Amino acid sequence: MEFVNQMYCTNNFDMLYGWSSASNINMQFLAKNPNLFDAHIQSGTGIGTKTANFLSKHLVNNSYKNAYLYANTEGTGLRPVGLKKYQNLINDLSPEGLVWKFELMDSSSHVNVIADGIYRGLRFVFAEFYISDTIVLEGADSIINYYKSINGRYNFHTRIPEGALMESAGILIQEEKSDEAIELLKYGVDLYPNSADIPGTLGEICEYLGQKKKASKYYRMAFQRSLSKSPAAMKYGYLHKKSMFTK
């Protein structure tokens, strides 16, 4: 881990994934090194009596710092029984600071849950990055404050993902809350100083509202930002994707 952190761009949030027998190795770290990893994803897994005794011995005294555990397995064979046993054990012990989810898959293939496990595990771990339409419709301040509320939850600085920011603005426009959409995107212009899409979308909204001077301002900003990212854009011009606001 030290080597990886030195050689690659990491963010202090460490996850361990294990499938089948490797999920047992994952359990060893969960039990004996409770704060080495921030998230444990185990797929095609389940436990028997010996592993249950091992986990009970070590987990009972463990406390975690905002850690996640996701475990699943296929729906056939003996593993569903083992997964249920594992789930019951964690429910009974309720380790402090650990958030968990157990899921029995429809798939009958042990191999198929390799990909399903990591996909669903990541969705569970980062579920808070998803913002509900209910919060979005409350307006820009609610959206901004929601992401501020989860800042630090993952041991790294959390900000509104650019995609979520753009999508939220689109929802607000569709609900005829253009002022809120503009306020949100103005916040995004400063939050993502290298983004051409955000000012470009602001230009689209202003043009849609008949605010030609403001539209020109933001289109110019988008153009300049696109040039800074790609010198080739100077030759071919700024090509923005088809507007989401076209009637």
Residue pLDDT, tens place only, 18-66? 999 999 999 999 999 998 999 999 999 999 999 999 999 999 889 898 8
> Is the pLDDT reported for residue 242 higher than 80?
no
pTM equals 0.76
| Range 2-125 classified under CATH 3.40.50.2020 | no
| Range 160-236 classified under CATH 1.25.40.10 | yes
The Cα 79–Cα 85 span in angstroms is: 10
Query: pLDDT (tens digit, 9 = 90+) per residue, 71-124?
Result: 999 988 889 999 999 999 999 999 999 999 999 998 778 998 999 899 999 999
Residue 68, both tokens: 């996640």
Arithmetic mean of pLDDT over the chain: 89
Domain coordinates in residue numbering, the chain: 2-125, 160-236
Instruction: Answer yes or no: same fold for 2-125 and 160-236.
Output: no
